[in-house]
């Protein structure tokens, strides 16, 4: 009887379910085995991406000194930084407008409208931007990088908006109300109270927007003009012609940058907490 009571009273844990360990290991293998293979063959001395011919750094040296890769990388970083700055700023203002206010008619509609790009297929967004920008090009004659900046900013806003809004919803209003009771202006309250507490959410949103912008292909492919290839577009073009471990090396460097960003965010967030 005591054993039955203990079994009934035991809290539920998914780890004790049959097959949990096996399924979890299979998921990790499917996620990380391709990445591990990619990284290993980036050190291959030969030109094959499937036959190991010895260890070498030659493909990293080739990739780093490839002028086309350098130009595409700089262009990708420029677009990502600009898009992240504008998208995070817009997302922060939108999150404040939809959380730090009394309920109003159409609030759910506004929330849905901001997040609509997450639900719309990316190809649809890309075609819509292509048509819209084509009209502007015909009217103004401008064919510069501004279209890529605007396109990346537009589809990065909802990605930045979600973590910022989530952070605001978890924040207690006590300190902000206390600041208002002590005659602090709205701007002072935001600068001294809301912004420091909101900073982890802003940082998370900015990092998410940066990564999304950096590796985007579909929208960039449709919007980019001649001579405006980003690094992902350059890599796709190379893979259509000849596949060498040079692309493995570039992808491994991308993976390293992503891991560093996640690590920095983890330590900054832990220090903030």
CA distance 32 to 37: 9
Q: Which CATH number fits domain 60-272: 1.10.3720.10, 3.30.360.10, 1.10.10.10, 3.40.50.10470?
A: 1.10.3720.10
Among the listed residues 186, 164, 169, 168, the one whose alpha carbon sits nearest the alpha carbon of residue 177: 186
Tens digit of each residue's pLDDT (9 = 90 or more) over 67-87: 998 899 999 999 999 999 999
Tens digit of each residue's pLDDT (9 = 90 or more) over 95-153: 888 887 766 667 777 777 787 888 888 899 889 999 999 999 999 988 889 999 999 99
Among the listed residues 171, 150, 165, the one whose alpha carbon sits nearest the alpha carbon of residue 213: 150
Amino acid 3: pLDDT:
46
Does residue 273 surpass a pLDDT of 60? no
Enter the DSSP assignment of 216.
-
The domain limits of the chain are 60-272
Does residue 181 surpass a pLDDT of 60? yes
Contact between 165 and 226 under an 8 Å Cβ cutoff? The reply is no
Stated pTM of the model = 0.81
Contact between 196 and 188 under an 8 Å Cβ cutoff? The reply is no
């Amino acid at each position: 009887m005591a054993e039955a009571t203990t079994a009934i009273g035991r809290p539920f844990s998914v780890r004790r379910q049959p097959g949990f360990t096996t399924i979890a290991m299979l998921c990790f293998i499917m996620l990380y085995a391709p990445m591990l293979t990619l990284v290993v063959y980036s050190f291959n001395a030969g030109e094959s991406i499937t036959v190991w011919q010895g260890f070498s750094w030659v493909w990293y040296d080739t990739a780093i000194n490839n002028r086309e890769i350098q130009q595409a990388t700089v262009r990708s970083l420029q677009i990502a930084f600009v898009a992240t700055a504008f998208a995070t700023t817009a997302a922060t203002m939108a999150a404040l407008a939809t959380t730090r206010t009394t309920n109003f008619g159409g609030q759910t509609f506004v929330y849905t409208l901001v997040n609509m790009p997450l639900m719309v297929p990316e190809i649809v967004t890309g075609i819509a931007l292509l048509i819209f920008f084509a009209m502007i090009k015909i009217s103004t004659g401008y064919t510069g990088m501004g279209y890529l900046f605007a396109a990346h900013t537009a589809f990065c806003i909802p990605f930045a908006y979600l973590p910022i809004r989530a952070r605001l919803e978890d924040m207690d209003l006590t300190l902000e109300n206390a600041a208002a009771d002590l005659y602090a202006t709205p701007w002072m309250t935001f600068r001294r109270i809301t912004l420091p507490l909101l900073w982890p959410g802003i940082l998370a949103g900015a990092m998410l927007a940066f990564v999304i912008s950096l590796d985007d292909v579909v929208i960039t492919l449709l919007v980019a003009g001649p001579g405006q290839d980003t690094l992902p577009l350059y890599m796709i073009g190379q893979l259509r012609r000849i596949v060498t471990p040079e692309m493995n090396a570039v992808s491994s460097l991308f993976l390293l940058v992503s891991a560093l960003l996640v690590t920095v965010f983890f330590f900054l967030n832990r220090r903030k907490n």
